[in-house]
Amino acid sequence: MLNFGRSFDVKVEKKSAEKMDATFEIMKDEMNSDEVGYYKLPANSKEIVNRVKNLKLVNFSQIVIIGIGGSSLGIKAVDQVLRAYSPNVKEILYLENSDPVSISMTLQKIKKEEALFFVISKSGATIETTSIFKTVLDYFEIDLFSTDTKRIFAITDEHSSLSHFAKNHNIEEFNIPANVGGRFSVLSAVGIVPLMIAGYDMPLVLKGAQDFAKSFFDENEYHLLEKAYYLSENSEKTPINVLFSYADGLENFTKWYVQLWAESLGKVNKHSKHVGLTPVGLIGSVDQHSFLQLIIEGTRDKTVTFIKVNDFENALSVPDITLFGIEKTDFINTQTFNTLINAQCDATMQSLIDSKVSTDIITLDKISSENIGALIMYYELLTSAVGSMTDINTYDQPGVELGKQILYKNLKKH
Amino acid sequence: MLNFGRSFDVKVEKKSAEKMDATFEIMKDEMNSDEVGYYKLPANSKEIVNRVKNLKLVNFSQIVIIGIGGSSLGIKAVDQVLRAYSPNVKEILYLENSDPVSISMTLQKIKKEEALFFVISKSGATIETTSIFKTVLDYFEIDLFSTDTKRIFAITDEHSSLSHFAKNHNIEEFNIPANVGGRFSVLSAVGIVPLMIAGYDMPLVLKGAQDFAKSFFDENEYHLLEKAYYLSENSEKTPINVLFSYADGLENFTKWYVQLWAESLGKVNKHSKHVGLTPVGLIGSVDQHSFLQLIIEGTRDKTVTFIKVNDFENALSVPDITLFGIEKTDFINTQTFNTLINAQCDATMQSLIDSKVSTDIITLDKISSENIGALIMYYELLTSAVGSMTDINTYDQPGVELGKQILYKNLKKH
């Protein structure tokens, strides 16, 4: 169960209602025409789920993800938040960055005869991913013409270079639909296959996402359109959107949100204007000791969304101990940390409301596969709605091409 | 060795020169009058370093930090970046957040007879820290009237509640100078004691910081004042400052920077105006696949500082392997990942310059204790300079008090 609350008002007058209705129709069209594919990923996931169920896997205790950006962030988000609640899930290791130090450290943790390697790249030729994959082949002396290939999985677009490679070596291959961008792909094979093999209940994650999408398109989540309207109407006054999650396990989720939001909403719009909402991911209570001062007293250019978990299903409490000299903190004795962290979330939100900062809050009754699926779908739908309202193409990323061209030119000169 | 380069011009006319000179004098006064204490921390560190050298420690293989915000972020920053280069350093575990799930997971990794516990709180009564400390005492059945106290260290202000507690139980205590704020305290006992006991070469970190501070006050780092001037003059046009570090090991350093920048510079200024520069920490090349699109095509409200490591002292290279179908990435074969990640940094910076985004770059010749010390001092001095130029009190944090009051009121009602 997700609950939604907020401190800001959206006056639903004719103009705003028309804009929200138009956005809703655009999103429905994007879905029904299959122009944008993420909407239907959960509903269309049965085939992938069944394929994974029927895979004959060699022995393994480690999952190694070789991928970056949209090919790793979503997996890390789900993995981190559900891990504490999934005792029998296998270890997952990530090879993402082209940093030689972190690659070397991760390689040392991998045991070839215990590992399944997932090479994930939508285009099939991401420079970090192919370079690291070659390094893995070399380091573990993997023979591409032997049964070693049973340990390798490729997840990529149909007809991509990685797809050609996989077919050539009889490597198990899963495809990402062409109409699903990398940052919207966590509920495609990209997330389903490795997370399900690791032991997560992906059918439940997918169910949570599908139920939320259905509820939205059944016109039961009008608050989402109102929020998108508020954010887009105030995009010049409050161009920074803070996601303040009160749970350490949601740190990677906030990183996934940062990618989704930044890469989707930072665009030159249809009127040739640079527009964009800047995402900031924070973790409470830690960042009360860091970023909060800036939100309260700094330039009033931010909205803040809180995520709170009602029940962590963990009874750890502050022991009834009095420490000489520190008696003044005894008022928290015997309370659970669950109570403390949520009281901190409530107090911080109240202090922002009192300071006239626009806030909203998403409350999860607990950390569950379904709730995480719903949260993912909520943020994807919100991104689409804001993108439509700010007159941009939400689904491309032309701004990163220039850097790639310069990189290729410079490296080929070597 | 740190090198500094940039793409933006500061026209040093009479007005700007006067402002930079005035700021320099203010900072010198803050230091000489001991109004602000962090400037002299490295120079005054001999006593602490000698005390640590002469400590008689019980057997241990784990360091446990119980602290949050300024009492953990700096330690984590130094620990993470130097770890790969410090093979004999002990494991460090962190108990920071009031999240019951992460506390429970960390407690399970601690072995009482192998651990030294560092309770760190400037005020001495931080609610997360005292609550977690009590939980540790209870969980490991630590007897405060036995030799168990040899495993506990307190780092706090003189005469704080934690200080009273430590004295009462003969617990080894180190103090934070009253004129050093939490976010400026990493080079005080807060960082020195646990990091040195873990095995890091803190005297070298301190030397790097001291040398940089001396160079600044010897008027050899004018670029720092120019950058501060540029950032403060453009604080309305480009209120967001991105720190884009091309090394996974610098992720916690960017979190330390975010706290330092946000909590110091987000203030109501002397003219009662809400001002503030918003920090964003990114890691390259990972965030090229995430946030970069927003910087290039989104609203032009950002400056970007790159941190690049010339020599990772790691020879890992891309094997000379051709993969069927993926031949087009062969141009990187035989190159080191060191070359790849730095070519990515250069290409991204060039693409931002071509897109007319203001950038600068700090190049470390390598990851070393001295360089990290210098980098810490550089950012502290830059923060002071920007704070002075934007007419704020850089060193307080009044904005977080309201939330604390609400928390105490609500919790005491229970």
- Percentage of chain A with pLDDT > 70? 100
Amino acid at B363: T
Q: How many Å apart are CA B44 and CA B206, to the nearest integer? A: 10
Integer-rounded Cα Rg, in Å, for chain A is 23
pLDDT band (50, 70, 90) for residue A379: very high
* A341–B100 C-beta distance less than 8 A: yes
Q: How many Å apart are CA A200 and CA A192, to the nearest integer? A: 9
pLDDT at residue B12, as a whole number: 85
Two structure tokens written together for A410:
């410079």
CA distances from A373 to A4, A312, A367, B61, B76 (A): 16, 17, 11, 40, 32
Q: How many Å apart are CA A342 and CA A361, to the nearest integer? A: 12
- Which residues of chain B lie closer than 8 angstroms to A290, CB-CB? 69, 73, 183, 255, 258-259, 262-263
Q: Mapping DSSP to helix (H, G, I), strand (E, B) and coil, where does residue B162 land?
A: helix
Average pLDDT over residues B176-192: 98
Least CB-CB distance to B325: which of A68, A98, A168?
A168
pLDDT tops 70 at residue B187: yes
pLDDT tops 80 at residue B140: yes
Integer-rounded Cα Rg, in Å, for chain B is 23
Distance from CA of B219 to the nearest CA of A (A): 31
Amino acid at B348: T
Least CB-CB distance to B336: which of A100, A133, A333?
A100
Average pLDDT over residues B256-280: 96
Q: Are A62 and A111 in contact (CB under 8 A)?
A: yes
Q: Are B21 and B375 in contact (CB under 8 A)?
A: no
Lowest mean pLDDT among A9-13, A314-318, A349-353: A9-13
- Which residues of chain B lie closer than 8 angstroms to A301, CB-CB? 239, 278
Q: Are B190 and B75 in contact (CB under 8 A)?
A: yes
- Which residues of chain B lie closer than 8 angstroms to A73, CB-CB? 290
Of B203, B205, B231, B200, the closest CA to residue B20 belongs to: B231
Q: How many Å apart are CA A377 and CA A368, to the nearest integer? A: 14
- DSSP H or E segment with residue B220: none
* B326–A161 C-beta distance less than 8 A: yes
- Which residues of chain A lie closer than 8 angstroms to B158, CB-CB? none
Over residues B359-408, the pLDDT tens digits come to 999 999 999 999 999 999 999 999 999 999 999 999 999 999 899 999 99
Least CB-CB distance to A300: which of B274, B290, B348?
B274
pLDDT at residue A414, as a whole number: 58
* A289–B333 C-beta distance less than 8 A: no
pLDDT at residue A254, as a whole number: 98
Q: How many Å apart are CA B263 and CA B70, to the nearest integer? A: 10
Average pLDDT over residues B296-315: 97
Q: Which residues are CB-neighbours of A155 under 8 A, at least 6 positions away? A: A67, A71, A118, A119, A120, A121, A173, A174, A175, A176, A189, A190, A193, A194
pLDDT at residue B266, as a whole number: 97
pLDDT tops 90 at residue A413: no
Two structure tokens written together for B339:
């070359």
Helices (H), B172-239: 189-198, 202-217, 222-233
Average pLDDT over residues A156-164: 98
How many C-alpha atoms does B76 have within 13 Å on its Cβ side? 22
- Which residues of chain A lie closer than 8 angstroms to B300, CB-CB? 274
Q: Are B283 and A102 in contact (CB under 8 A)?
A: no
A322 phi/psi in degrees, rounded to 5: -105, 125
Distance from CA of A32 to the nearest CA of B (A): 28
- Which residues of chain B lie closer than 8 angstroms to A249, CB-CB? 99, 101-102
B148, B332, B409, B412: best mutation site toward chain A, by most A Cβ within 10 Å?
Answer: B332
Q: What is this structure's pTM?
A: 0.98
Angle between helices B202-217 and B189-198 (to 10 degrees): 140
Q: Per-residue b/e over B308-342, b at no fewer than 16 CB within 10 Å?
A: bbeebebebbbeeeebebbeebeebeeebbbbbbb
Of A3, A100, A76, the closest CA to residue A259 belongs to: A76
Angle between helices A337-354 and B127-139 (to 10 degrees): 180
Q: How many Å apart are CA A198 and CA A63, to the nearest integer? A: 7
Q: How many Å apart are CA B298 and CA A276, to the nearest integer? A: 4
ipTM: 0.97
Q: E strands along B334-391, which residues? A: 359-366
Q: Are A73 and A256 in contact (CB under 8 A)?
A: yes
Q: How many Å apart are CA A301 and CA B121, to the nearest integer? A: 31
| Set B263, B267, B302, B308: catalytic member | B263
- Which residues of chain B lie closer than 8 angstroms to A366, CB-CB? none
Q: How many Å apart are CA B349 and CA B244, to the nearest integer? A: 10
Active site residue B263: yes
Which DSSP category does A317 fall into? B
Residue listed under structure tokens 């516990």 = B117
Residue listed under structure tokens 């931080």 = B126
Instruction: Count how many residues are written for chain A.
Output: 414
pLDDT tops 70 at residue B414: no
Higher pLDDT, A401 or A301: A301
User: Going by DSSP bridges, is the β-strand pair A267-268/A274-275 parallel, antiparallel, or unpaired?
Assistant: antiparallel
For the beta carbon of residue B74, count every other beta carbon within 10 angstroms: 28
Domains in chain A, please, with CATH? 2-30+205-398 (3.40.50.10490), 38-200 (3.40.50.10490)
pLDDT tops 70 at residue A183: yes
Active site residue B289: yes
- Percentage of chain B with pLDDT > 90? 97
* A325–B291 C-beta distance less than 8 A: no
Instruction: Please give the mean pLDDT across all residues of chain B.
Output: 97
Q: How many Å apart are CA B239 and CA B229, to the nearest integer? A: 13
Angle between helices B189-198 and B46-53 (to 10 degrees): 30
| Set B274, B289, B328, B412: catalytic member | B289
* A163–B325 C-beta distance less than 8 A: yes
Lowest mean pLDDT among A138-142, A252-256, B122-126: B122-126
Q: E strands along B15-82, which residues? A: 62-66
Q: Number of A:B CB contacts under 8 A?
A: 395
Of B242, B256, B268, B120, the closest CA to residue B183 belongs to: B256
- Which residues of chain A lie closer than 8 angstroms to B333, CB-CB? 134
pLDDT at residue A11, as a whole number: 87
Q: How many Å apart are CA A255 and CA A263, to the nearest integer? A: 12
Q: How many Å apart are CA A175 and CA A188, to the nearest integer? A: 8
Over residues B287-298, the pLDDT tens digits come to 999 999 999 999
Q: How many Å apart are CA A41 and CA A38, to the nearest integer? A: 5
Least CB-CB distance to A411: which of B183, B263, B331?
B331
Q: How many Å apart are CA B139 and CA A317, to the nearest integer? A: 11
* A288–B329 C-beta distance less than 8 A: no
Q: How many Å apart are CA B36 and CA B385, to the nearest integer? A: 13
Q: How many Å apart are CA A243 and CA A254, to the nearest integer? A: 7
List the single residue in A with minimal CA-CA distance to B139: A319
Distance from CA of A220 to the nearest CA of B (A): 31
Q: How many Å apart are CA B288 and CA B230, to the nearest integer? A: 25
Q: Per-residue b/e over A94-108, b at no fewer than 16 CB within 10 Å?
A: bbbbbbbbbbbebbe
Amino acid at B36: V
* A99–B247 C-beta distance less than 8 A: yes
Over residues A320-373, the pLDDT tens digits come to 999 999 999 999 999 999 999 999 999 999 999 999 999 999 999 999 999 999
Catalytic annotation, residues of A: 263, 289, 404
Residue listed under structure tokens 């900031």 = A280
Two structure tokens written together for A252:
């990677």
* A100–B314 C-beta distance less than 8 A: yes
Two structure tokens written together for B292:
């970069």
Distance from CA of A219 to the nearest CA of B (A): 31
- Percentage of chain A with pLDDT > 90? 97
Q: Are B375 and B362 in contact (CB under 8 A)?
A: yes
